[in-house]
Amino acid sequence: MSSLITDKNVIFAGICAFLIQFSLTATFHLFEHFDNFVNNGELQTGIYEGFFQDDEDDEDNDEGDDEDNDEGDDEDDDEDDDNSNDNNSNTDSNEYTYETSVYDDDSDITTNEDADVKVKSNTKLDFSDVLIVPKESDVSSRKDVNLKRTFYFSNSKRTWTGIPIIVANMDTTGTIDMARECQKHQILTCLHKFYSAEDIPEDLDRNYYMVSTGTRPEDIENCDDIIAKRKPYFVCIDVANGYCNTVLNIISRFHLLYPDITLVAGNVVTYETVKQYYEHGVDIVKMGIGSGSVCTTRLQTGVGYPQFSCILDTKKRIHKNKNIYIISDGGIQTIGDFSKAFGAGADFVMCGGMFSGHSECAGEIIEIDGVSYKTFYGMSSTVAMDKRYGGVANYKVAEGKSVKIQYKGPVANTIVNILGGIRSTMTYIGAKYMDEIYENTEFIRVNNIVNQIYK
């Protein structure tokens, strides 16, 4: 009898232990489920919504401060700007992603799972990835559009009117002969930095050329001499890596010494640095790294930013401040890319390759198998380094290449074609004036832009 009682006690104790263990396990899983709900469910979503609202408020405050600087005719555009800004704000919603639109917001939503990921998920685009959508237009003829645009530069307190296209300051394209021809069309030429004051003729129209300088002491000294003797309206501070802190010091130095000169500087690819440049005295910021036709920076360094998105992303953030102007420098492969750059938000478009190979370019004509060529090379190429600096230093690597361009004859023919292409774009989108292109342009992302069966 006592043995039976002992066995029942053992069984009862086992059942009790099992029930206690089951209760503890169930309680643990219940709390774990509730914790996941709090961190990943509706409560956490509310936290993130507040976070992004704060960001947007900060940006609105920045734009509000900048808005006070708007000048003259810019006030007439405020209503259009507000409408455009409302359109851009749609990019924060789920309706717009890079699968359906190129107007993707640059903000990255961070979750617990990807907080440490260093790769932005938004795909960035080049001009070859998009096309402009035509829309109803009351501009019936290309002769009815006006390609000239008037700018007020708030740092230099100057006004300029012309066609906002700039020939790049490369050895072969940024020449005196090029400037002489381009000024006839009211287009700017950025002269290469190896000209001295004596090389620049006094009768060259200062409205349509820029003097360029590097950041070396000898470059700055040469630029000071040109300013003293030729009194240019524009000076371009040109450096491959615009993110070096010394660039801001040089910008401040030029703005302090020559406050009435319109400063151009670059190259950079992000809004934050564009804003810094403007605050230090720059009126026009040159944007683009690695997008040039004879540039190999992206291959050698892995650094860059697709040119279309570089301009689009920056313009969205400075859109309310009409006093900050940006140049799209590089990435032009076809005439239509000029219009895409303006449509993305560029105020000026700078190009080297499209203007290469002409009679106004430096260099001799080379005959190969009965075909005439001219040499075109990047300013960080081995050819340029050998010519200007005695070779590539052993701590550097060449970031450019040299190519032979089939001779194109006078540049006037190319200019007429470029301007004609932009005029056509404007008739397709109903833009009568250049500053309407950005407001009137809508893009679609495409897999192919042209039928290439007959290349």
Q: In terms of pLDDT, which residue wins out, 93 or 276?
A: 276
Task: State the pLDDT at residue 28.
Answer: 53
List the domain range (segments joined by +) for residue 158.
142-445
Mean per-residue pLDDT of the chain: 79
> Which letter, b or e, does each residue of 357-368 get, where b requires 16 or more Cβ atoms within 10 Å of its Cβ?
bbebbbbeeeee
Would residue 202 count as lying in a domain?
A: yes
What's the number of domains the chain is made of? 1
Measure Cα distances from 88 to 203, 312, 345 in Å.
45, 11, 12
Rg over CA atoms, the chain:
29
Would residue 323 count as lying in a domain?
A: yes
CATH code for position 413:
3.20.20.70
> Residue 159 corresponds to which tokens in the numbers above?
């006004």
Would residue 289 count as lying in a domain?
A: yes
Among 5-19, 110-124, 182-196, 324-338, which stretch is predicted with the lowest mean pLDDT? 5-19
Task: State the pLDDT at residue 49.
Answer: 37
The predicted model gives 411-430 an average pLDDT of: 96
Would residue 455 count as lying in a domain?
A: no
Among 31-35, 209-213, 291-295, which stretch is predicted with the lowest mean pLDDT? 31-35
pTM over 0.85: no
Would residue 272 count as lying in a domain?
A: yes
Q: Closest Cα to residue 280, out of 272, 290, 270?
A: 272
Task: Indicate whether 294 pLDDT > 80.
Answer: no
Would residue 373 count as lying in a domain?
A: yes
Catalytic residue list: 295, 297
3-class SS at 224? helix
Would residue 7 count as lying in a domain?
A: no
Task: Indicate whether 79 pLDDT > 90.
Answer: no
Task: State the pLDDT at residue 67.
Answer: 41
The predicted model gives 226-249 an average pLDDT of: 95
> What's the pLDDT tens digit per position in 358-390?
999 988 888 889 889 888 766 655 665 655 666
Q: In terms of pLDDT, which residue wins out, 19 or 48?
A: 19
Would residue 290 count as lying in a domain?
A: yes
